Amino acid sequence: MANDQSLESPGVVVGTVCAIGRSAINAVQQAGRLAMFFVTTLSRLFYWPFPFAEVIKQIHFIGAKSMPVIIMAGLFTGMVVALQFYDALIRFGSVDLLGSVVALALIRELGPVMAALMIIARAGSATCSEIAIMRNEQQFDALDCMAIDVYRYVMLPRLVAAIIAVPLLTAVVDVVGIGGGYIVGVLIQDVSYGAYIGGMVDTVQWNDVRMGLIKSVLFGAVIFCVVLAKGFYLHIEQPVSGAEGVGRATTEAVVLSAILMLFTDYVVSAFLL
């Protein structure tokens, strides 16, 4: 229905206003759909029996299969952070703080964000296109017709798996990142071992770990909610169906989930700091 109007070319001002209005309506609609989708999926938590086997399978897919890329991301993040901070700290003659700074940066901020980005790139996009293809092949219609609850058997296990797997992967990024920082700080730049590790132990508090944990849980929920809903609503949101629609939905899901993840990051940081 939106296309009919744009064909008539109603003049620049009116046209612009129309376009702004349309995208505003779209954004609100999409936000509403996302919220409904999230609530409906979570409501299936209380149905018995809970599909444990499927959750395990999805944790394997999201978590275990992401390990190589997560380890690489953690390693290089830790190394570059240590490098940058070393260069900054040496100007104040306080390179002994390197361990604390690297650990705090990783645990509070970079660990959750890097893990989330890697999961979006690997598991998120794959899940979105999987769900979109299921929609495209009428698999959801078939499940509806067999009286099998799609939210319960398809959506919930993936969402729960993400909420479990993302914090675990974040922990991996943190640990590998601190190791990367160790390589750069201690082995290459000759910061003392005691200063690096000891400083870290002294500065990092439970509050910092908790912040990272809360973030990563929320990231898992936000990312997979977006990714699943984008695939699920393929037929409503995408102007084209078929492979092209699947491709578009996946691209949009990756962009939107990354932005929402970073937005969540800011909100959580603002609240907890």
| Of 94 and 138, CB closest to another protein | 138
Q: Which one of residues 5, 40, 125, 139 is an interface residue with another protein (CB under 8 A)?
A: 139
Closest approach, Cβ 137 to another protein, in A, equals 6
Question: By C-beta, is 49 or 93 nearer to another protein?
Answer: 49
- Residue 174: name the closest of 200, 198, 193 by CA: 200
**Cα–Cα distance, 26 to 14 (Å, whole number):** 18
The answer to whether the peptide bond before residue 49 is cis (omega within 30 degrees of 0) is yes
Q: How far is the CB of 244 from another protein (least distance, A)?
A: 18
| Rounded Cα distance, 29 and 25, in Å | 6
Sequence-distant (≥ 6) Cβ neighbours of residue 159 within 8 angstroms: 41, 42, 221, 224, 225, 228
1-20 binders of another protein (CB under 8 A): 1
* Nearest-angstrom CA–CA distance, 238 and 203: 49
CB closer to another protein out of 105 and 234: 234
In the complex with another protein, which residue's Cβ is closer, 144 or 202? 144
| 143 vs 262, beta carbon nearer another protein | 143
Using CB under 8 A as the binding criterion, the count of chain residues that bind another protein stands at 15
Least Å distance, CB 231 to another protein, is 13
Stretch that binds another protein, among 79-87, 133-141, 224-232, 258-266 (CB under 8 A): 133-141
Nearest by Cα to 66 from 117, 133, 134: 117
Map the footprint of another protein across residues 142-181, applying CB under 8 A: 142-148
Tokens of residue 3, six digits: 């296309």
Least separation in angstroms between CB 63 and another protein: 17
Helical H segments across the chain, by residue range: 2-6, 12-43, 52-62, 67-89, 98-104, 111-119, 125-136, 139-145, 150, 156-182, 193-203, 206-232, 234-237, 242-272
Residues in the chain: 273
- Identified binder of another protein from the candidate list 11, 88, 141, 194, rule CB under 8 A: 141
Q: Is 133 a binder of another protein (CB under 8 A)?
A: yes
Q: Does 53 bind another protein (CB under 8 A)?
A: no
Contact segment (CB under 8 A) with another protein among 43-51, 109-117, 138-146, 243-251 equals: 138-146
Query: What Rg do the C-alpha atoms of the chain give, in angstroms?
Result: 22
- Residue nearer to another protein on the CB measure, 130 or 208: 130
Q: Is 138 in the site for another protein (CB under 8 A)?
A: yes
**Number of CB atoms found within 10 A of residue 248's CB:** 17
In this structure, what DSSP letter does residue 112 have?
A: H
Span from 31-39, 76-84, 127-135, 160-168 in contact with another protein (CB under 8 A)? 127-135
Q: Which spans of this chain sit near another protein (rule: CB under 8 A)?
A: 1, 130, 133-134, 137-139, 141-148
